[in-house]
Chain A
Amino acid sequence: MDFFIQLFSDPVGFWNSHTLLIAQIGINSILASSMFVVLYSGQLSLAAPGFMATGAYTSVLMDQYWHTPLGLNIATGVLLAGVLGLLVGLPVLRLRGVFLAIATIGFIEALRLGVILNVPITGEGLGLKNLSADPLGGIYLVLISLVVVLFVVWRLTKGRLGAAWAAIRQDELAALSQGINVARYKMIAFVLSAILAGFAGALEAHLNFFVDPGDAQYGVARAVQILTFAVLGGSGYVLGPVVGALIITLLPWIFQAQGIYINIVTGVFLIAVIVFRPQGIVGRGGLAIIRPAWWPRRAGVRVPTTG
């Protein structure tokens, strides 16, 4: 609770003492937007950590070897993530639902365990030092980027592109009957999502002196975390996943006193939301009513049988 008391009583002190936390919320919110774009177009892709790693390693390595400016490093990382998104998207976007999710898990782990941990230039399992990191100054870049990303994604959902995505998410076959080139629009969403994830990865690397190739950073654990942002917040509106990111990132702080039970709280929260509020926290409608199809809608009136 101290956390919230300080937030309201001493905002400046709060900013100074929690700069890194705020920056992490910003990064996670960009990742949440990346997840939002794919879910909004009806694709359960868990590939974001792979593209994050692409953005992060590209930008840090460019800085280390060529000493190029930060902007160029990030831009190159983002570009490579986008190209990789296109290459991965071509074969996997034929898959649907759970199969797409598993294929993208295969992609991120093959990239992490197969490439990153085995190529000397990435520092393999030891990780990569990033001497030009700027944890405190970077926060402005993160927050400005977040605002821009949210604005762009929000505007895109409002136009022809967003309408096509929404239609595909609801019913691919019906979307085809409306003249929508489903494969193309799914690919646009997948690549855009890769670009956003690559961007978040490059930004995150800029905030840290060390690029850690662990599971929690670029592996399945991170993918699941990003997915929970979207599920918790709701993937119908741009702000949904951002709210999810905010809550998940803050949970450890909110429950500071009970700190060690944080994952239990997260798990209970997750199950409760998916069971009772499938549209997420941000979304239309109330709580779901759970009743099997064959459950009596009301108690049947027993009439004496004549047989």
Chain B
Amino acid sequence: MFLRLDKVQRHFGGVQAVDGVSLEVEEGSIQGLIGPNGAGKTTLVNVITGYVPYQSGRAWLQADEITGLRPYRIASAGISRTFQNIRLFKDLTALENVLVGMHTRRRDDTLAQLATLPIFRRDQKGRVDEAGRLMETVGLSRSDVGKRAAGTLPYGDQRRLEIARALALRPRLLILDEPAAGMNPSEKQGMRELIERLNADGLTILLIDHDMRLVMGVCQRVAVLDFGRKIAEGTPDEVSTDAGVIKAYLGTGGDKAVTSAPGAAAVDETDADIEASENRVAAEPEKAILDVHDLTVSYGAITAVRGASLRVAAGEVVALIGANGAGKSTILNALSGLIRPDSGTAVFDGLDLTVANPSRIVRHGLVQVPEGREILARQTVLENLELATWGRRHGTVAKEIEAVMKRFPILGERRALRAGTLSGGEQQMLAIARGLLAKPRLLLLDEPSLGLAPQMVDEVFATIEEIHREGTTILLVEQNALRALEIADRAYVLETGQIRLSGTGDDLLHNPAVRRAYLGG
């Protein structure tokens, strides 16, 4: 075996991030590693490459044991990687970035430098040539892009440059951590071709990605992680029809569960079907409390949302679904005033969200329960709740907090504990309770079921329905599409920053294109 992992284990605090994963990668193959958000994929990569220590387990690259080596030793041993959030040397030029990658192969030229020997110049010219060739391999022009600072390059180019830098090590194994995240379809296609080309030249690749279409398209074998465990392994076909995998990705639909997973039976839906469903647009409400029109949002060079429009009427539950990196959270953050859109409008009950101060937005009744919960871990449960009444000074506040603790009895019991000691589900309840205490007229929920055990997911969704019944309007962002669509009046499907579909929850629940947006089938 080329790369062999044996029962690798790593936990953070009480969470088993990687739980006894064994994996074998064949020489010359492309091995895929997939799994929902928080499944432990990146942690596994960090363990293999030495950034995070092993709790137990071992790893070999061919005959060399690499368990517990420092990251630079593992790189020298021939494992090269890219990073999920792109870690280029931002102020160095693109060419310099690639040159750094040649460090381990470069002789120590310090003395030649001091003497300014011609030997240095000759070597340097050879290296620059090679770096230029590597840039061209990944599809970057050496003359245009080479001289620009890496941080100023467009997002797709940064991803490619990171691969060129990784190739400069002449690795035996290349690990790509979400190389296509945040790319548009044509860029993704280019990335797919690049990976296939590198593999055709004999490079062994371990590919981690959320985008199932990419992974299923290029990998010979795929392993699936969920909650730190390997739940399936096999060819792409085997894995994509595996009931456990579909469940992990689309989520459980209550007790109706997996059998009704959209398109689970029909893997090859026709293009005509997709066309038809894409053209079907649900009747949007006339009177909207939230009106978003043609919103475009970017982070530096990365455009995360491209011209999205959506409306929410008072009393509705509207779901916003889509794969990881589709731009869902970005939309919510733009609505909360945390990031400002490049263009477009967003109005909530007369308040222009593109200019209003975040605290003004909260006071106006638009409240977000963020992804990852963002509870204040160092403060007690009670303090978290008290903070949620910020800006309201009247005497009813104490009563409201009591009422909320009655409704979430677990929070009442744990009121004096630090919020960081709560379980994930309890933290989510706390985050929702906090959101309610801010007296929202529109509650934005960002991935409330993320990383929760199935029973907790049920509980969270039951709570959401309850809140809705009591009259709060909800905009729900979820990866667990099935559950979200079940409770939603209407939903929008987001793909690479654009709204691709919209309709009633029921319509989308039975729509094969939803499956496509998720699994890339």
Contact = CB atoms under 8 A, between A and B. Distances in A.
Contacts of A171: 87-90
Contacts of A176: 50-51, 70-72, 75
B108 A160 contact: yes
Interface in B45-96: 49-51, 70-72, 75-76, 80-81, 83, 87-92, 96
Contacts of A170: 89-92
B154 to A, nearest CB: 18
B75 A179 contact: yes
Given A163-B96, A303-B347, A307-B314, A179 B89 contact: no
Nearest to A279: B91
Contact of A173 (B70, B87, B90): B87
A167 B286 CA distance: 55
Chain A interface, DSSP helix/strand/loop, else mixed: loop
Contact of B110 (A160, A180, A294, A305): A160
B327 interface: no
B301 interface: no
Contact of B169 (A173, A178, A295, A296): A178
Chain B interface, DSSP helix/strand/loop, else mixed: loop
A162 to B, nearest CB: 8
Contact of B341 (A160, A166, A297): A297
Contacts of B103: 160, 163-164, 167, 178-180
Contact of A161 (B49, B81, B110, B354): B110
A177 interface: yes
Contacts of A303: 291, 293, 345, 347
A293 interface: yes
Given A155-B114, A163-B99, A178 B165 contact: yes
B100 A159 contact: no
B87 A167 contact: no
B349 interface: yes
B408 interface: no
A181 B70 CA distance: 9
Interface in A153-204: 155-156, 158-161, 163-164, 166-167, 170-171, 173-182
Interface stretch (B5-13, B209-217, B265-273, B332-340): B332-340
Interface centre among A160, A296, A297, A301 (most CB of B within 10 A): A160
Contacts of B293: 303
A159 B286 CA distance: 66
A297 B110 CA distance: 47
Contacts of B108: 160-161
Contacts of B80: 177
B347 A174 contact: no
A305 to B, nearest CB: 5
A192 to B, nearest CB: 11
Interface in B267-296: 286-291, 293
B352 interface: yes
B350 interface: yes
A306 interface: yes
Interface centre among A156, A161, A179 (most CB of B within 10 A): A179
Contacts of A297: 340-342
A300 B90 contact: no
A94 B113 CA distance: 29
Contacts, number: 140
A300 B169 contact: no
Given A159-B110, A160-B110, A174 B88 contact: yes
Contact of A177 (B81, B313, B349): B81
A237 B76 CA distance: 29
A156 B350 CA distance: 61
A152 B111 CA distance: 10
A299 interface: yes
A38 to B, nearest CB: 17
A173 B341 CA distance: 31
Contacts of A299: 355
Contacts of B165: 178
A182 B76 CA distance: 13
A300 B352 contact: yes
Contacts of B100: 163-164, 166-167, 175, 178, 180
A155 B166 CA distance: 26
Contacts of A174: 83, 87-89
B347 A178 contact: no
A180 B120 CA distance: 20
B116 interface: yes
A307 B288 contact: yes
A176 B289 CA distance: 50
A305 B89 contact: no
B349 A305 contact: yes
B104 interface: yes
Nearest to B152: A285
Contacts of A294: 337-340, 357-358
A178 B162 CA distance: 11
Contacts of A158: 113
B109 interface: yes
B197 interface: no
A182 B352 contact: no
B345 A300 contact: yes
Contacts of B169: 178-179
Contacts of A182: 72
A171 B89 CA distance: 6
Contact of B75 (A164, A178, A302, A305): A178
Contacts of B83: 173-174, 177
A178 B96 CA distance: 13
Given A160-B106, A294-B338, A305 B72 contact: no
A298 B343 CA distance: 8
B36 interface: no
Contacts of B40: none
Given A294-B337, A300-B345, A306 B114 contact: no
Nearest to A188: B110
Contacts of B120: 159
A260 B214 CA distance: 68
Contacts of A155: 113-114, 116
B101 interface: yes
B81 to A, nearest CB: 6
A73 B352 CA distance: 72
A306 B110 CA distance: 70
Interface in B208-226: none
Given A161-B110, A296-B354, A300-B352, A180 B347 contact: no
A120 B51 CA distance: 49
Interface centre among B107, B112, B340 (most CB of A within 10 A): B340
A236 B352 CA distance: 42
A173 B291 contact: no
Interface of A: 152, 155-156, 158-161, 163-164, 166-167, 170-171, 173-182, 236, 284, 293-303, 305-307
19 contacts: A155-B116, A160-B109, A170-B89, A171-B88, A173-B87, A176-B71, A176-B72, A177-B71, A178-B72, A179-B72, A179-B76, A180-B103, A300-B355, A301-B345, A302-B352, A303-B345, A306-B287, A307-B289, A307-B349
User: Top 8 closest A-B pairs, CB basis?
Assistant: A300-B354, A179-B75, A170-B89, A179-B104, A159-B113, A174-B87, A176-B71, A179-B76
Interface of B: 49-51, 70-72, 75-76, 80-81, 83, 87-92, 96, 99-101, 103-104, 106-110, 112-114, 116, 120, 149, 165-166, 168-169, 286-291, 293, 313-314, 337-343, 345-347, 349-350, 352-355, 357-358
